[in-house]
Amino acid sequence: MSSLIRPQRDGQGFRLESRSVLETDTRRVDHIMGADLNTEVGNRIRQRRALVKMDQAALASRLDVPVSVVQGWESGSGAQPLDLTGLADVATALSTSIADLVPAPEDDLTDGVRLQLPDEDSSIVGSRGGVDYYVYRCLVRSPSVPMLIPLVVDVLVDDRERAEFNGGHAGHEFIYVMEGSVHMQWGDEAAPKTADLPTGASIYISPYVSHTFTALDGRNARLLAVNF
């Protein structure tokens, strides 16, 4: 199993314990960090920031960088280029994954197929409210459908009082409960709809519907999540 990437605070903001598991994402980052596609990454950062209702100053504060740096990223100017570590920092601060911020490459298919072996998976810990909340395992993606983002998600938090809503996703989402059981909340955070879902349950979530999951039965749960 791939080792996890755990964001931790230091004097320069978030850092990563391990980068080895992100080799697949490194290829994607190298591909998109040229001048032509900086704008696309910047657009995704801006859209995600708006989705979670965070202004540029708040994002800059979380990352311990000047607001002008965030402005540069979102404009795609390339004045403050994002490397792999920086992109992981931004994804963590926005409660998302690198896969949400980086388009799939366009040149890695063999006769229309891309394979991803288990040792090529990347795992990212997503924190909310200062607590490790989810572990995202990034599955294979295809450049022919860049909005299709498949993930295996481990739900770490089992206290629904600590549930943190995500603000929703720009696309549709399908979820299947692979292991364990989860408590789902969605809609208005002040008075959310709720459901307890066992192994084998499946869920469809419309774009921009805020939601969250916590584990039940005192143990972690595992979800298959497909954003499209």
- Give the pLDDT of residue 178: 98
Q: 90: closest CA among 79, 106, 101? A: 101
Q: Do domains 8-110 and 147-227 have the same CATH topology?
A: no
Q: How distant, in Å, are the alpha carbons of 46, 135, 169, 208, 227 from that of 100?
A: 12, 14, 10, 14, 9
User: 22: which residues sit within 8 A by CB, 6+ positions away?
Assistant: 5, 84, 88, 98, 122, 124
- Give the pLDDT of residue 78: 65
Amino acid at 16: L
Cβ count near 187 (within 10 Å): 14
The angle at the Cα of 31, spanning 30 to 32, to the nearest 5 degrees, equals 95
pTM: 0.59
DSSP reduced 3-state for 153 = strand
Tell me the pairing of strands 13-15 and 8-10: antiparallel
pLDDT per residue of the chain (228 residues) written in tens, 0 to 9: 333 333 333 333 332 333 322 333 333 443 334 444 578 888 999 999 999 999 999 999 999 889 999 998 898 876 677 766 678 889 889 988 887 887 755 556 778 888 888 877 678 887 776 778 888 888 988 766 767 889 999 999 998 888 888 888 878 999 999 999 999 999 999 999 999 999 999 999 998 899 999 999 888 899 999 988
Report whether 194 contacts 183 (CB < 8 A).
yes
Q: 142: closest CA among 108, 175, 101, 170? A: 108
- Give the pLDDT of residue 126: 78
Q: 127: closest CA among 1, 9, 2? A: 9
- What are the structure tokens assigned to 36, written together? 């032509």
- What are the structure tokens assigned to 139, written together? 């599955």
- Give the pLDDT of residue 24: 34
Structural domain boundaries of the chain?
A: 8-110, 147-227
Report whether 155 contacts 197 (CB < 8 A).
no
Amino acid at 159: D
Cβ count near 91 (within 10 Å): 26
- Give the pLDDT of residue 99: 76
Q: Which fold has domain 147-227?
A: Jelly Rolls (2.60.120)
- Give the pLDDT of residue 131: 78
- Give the pLDDT of residue 104: 59
Please name the CATH architecture into which domain 8-110 falls: Orthogonal Bundle (1.10)
